[in-house]
Chain A
Amino acid sequence: MTEAEIIEKLQNGSEQAFKELVDKYQKLVVNTCFGMLHDKDDAEDVAQDVFIEVFRSVQSFRADSKISTWLYRIAVNRSLNFIRDNKKRKWFQSLDDTVKSKNAIFEKFTSGDSDDADFNLENNQRANVLHEAINSLPENQKVAFSLNKYEDLSYKEISEVMDLSVSSIESLIHRAKKNLQKKLYTCYKKKCI
């Protein structure tokens, strides 16, 4: 099915077309959400919300834009909303999370051979540091950077998703990388990994 055919069938309520759409774009949506949320379960939950929104708002989809652009937009907005909602909840959960992550590290240590565990532990810590650094970026920088890095989108494609000029995207990603480097250098100096 071509994009136009999928959309037309979706607008006529075809479940077959919806399944095809999900199969085709599931990875794209989950990956985009993961790039913003850095948690597999959260990313899948939000990705489900994305497809539910797609199913319900397909009537208003305008055929002059690409399906992927539309999906990226919904995925980005949903992820940003999730982060905003989560910030309010996070404060209460922080203690619980600390305990959980300690347990996770402990499990990594106790399971498997020690070389593997060391490698996993280091990678886990690296991942945490990286996620924290990305999370601390201003929203626009975060969106542009993760679309570029997790979805390998070109500046042109990101500019269509974010509805900004290509040069704005260039500057957003440049500033994002600068900020990340600063954070990661501070961490390196403090030997936080």
Chain B
Amino acid sequence: MKCKTIHKNLIFFLEGDLPEKEEKQIEAHISSCNECSAFAQDLKKTLGIIEKEKTTETNPFFYTRLKARLESQAEPAKVPFWKPVLVNIIQPVFFSILLIAGIYTGFKIATPVQVNTASVHYTSEEIFPYLNEMQSEPIEGFLME
């Protein structure tokens, strides 16, 4: 076997990918050729780095960090199945009832006052006090001073 052929197949030899016959041939060549043996040693050392690099221990703070990241960039929380019912139906209905109740109470409270209006005479100043204030002190007056 020529050195060139060896160089082409050395990685497969080291990885144990070759059929037995070829493996034996390369083995025989390497044991008698310094050049190929030196490269085989070198290649073996370099590829051996992979085994050394494999993660054996885990970072104990990995989950804590992960959780902090998840919380800091939290997307809108998952909508529970009952949420749309609450937002779209129950809430409007509740506020409508509140509104109607409010108007109803308003009328109830206002009614006795209405009875009195017939007997009491109000001047226009008494009914629209704020409007009249505006009349006597126009806004331009403030701006001018």
Contacts and interface: CB of A to CB of B under 8 A. Distances in A.
A51 B7 contact: no
Interface residues of A, number: 32
Interface in B50-91: 50, 52-55, 58-59, 62-63, 65-66, 69-70, 73, 75, 78
A115 interface: no
A48 to B, nearest CB: 5
Is the contact region of chain B dominated by helix, strand, or loop, or is it mixed?
helix
A123 B73 CA distance: 39
A72 interface: no
A23 B52 CA distance: 22
Contacts of B65: 48
B72 to A, nearest CB: 11
Contacts of A180: 11
A130 B11 CA distance: 13
A129 B46 contact: yes
A149 B50 contact: yes
Nearest to B63: A22
B66 A48 contact: yes
A181 B8 contact: yes
B49 interface: yes
Interface in B16-50: 17, 39, 42-43, 45-47, 49-50
Contact of B49 (A23, A130, A181): A130
B104 interface: no
Is the contact region of chain A dominated by helix, strand, or loop, or is it mixed?
helix
Interface in B77-134: 78
Interface centre among B55, B59, B62, by most chain A C-beta atoms within 10 angstroms, is B55
A34 B53 contact: yes
Interface stretch (A24-32, A77-85, A89-97): A24-32
A31 B47 CA distance: 17
Contacts of B10: 181
Q: In which size bucket is the chain B interface? A: 20 to 34
A51 B46 contact: no
Interface in A128-161: 129-130, 149-150
Contacts of B15: 177
B58 A181 contact: no
A126 B53 CA distance: 12
B39 A188 contact: yes
Contacts of B66: 22, 48, 51-52
Interface of A: 13, 19, 22-23, 26-27, 30-31, 34, 38, 44, 47-48, 51-52, 55-56, 123, 126-127, 129-130, 149-150, 177-178, 180-181, 184-185, 188, 193
Interface of B: 7-8, 10-12, 15, 17, 39, 42-43, 45-47, 49-50, 52-55, 58-59, 62-63, 65-66, 69-70, 73, 75, 78
27 contacts: A13-B78, A22-B63, A26-B58, A26-B59, A27-B58, A30-B55, A30-B58, A34-B55, A38-B53, A44-B62, A52-B69, A56-B75, A126-B45, A126-B46, A126-B49, A130-B49, A150-B53, A150-B54, A177-B11, A178-B8, A178-B11, A181-B10, A181-B43, A185-B39, A185-B43, A188-B39, A188-B42
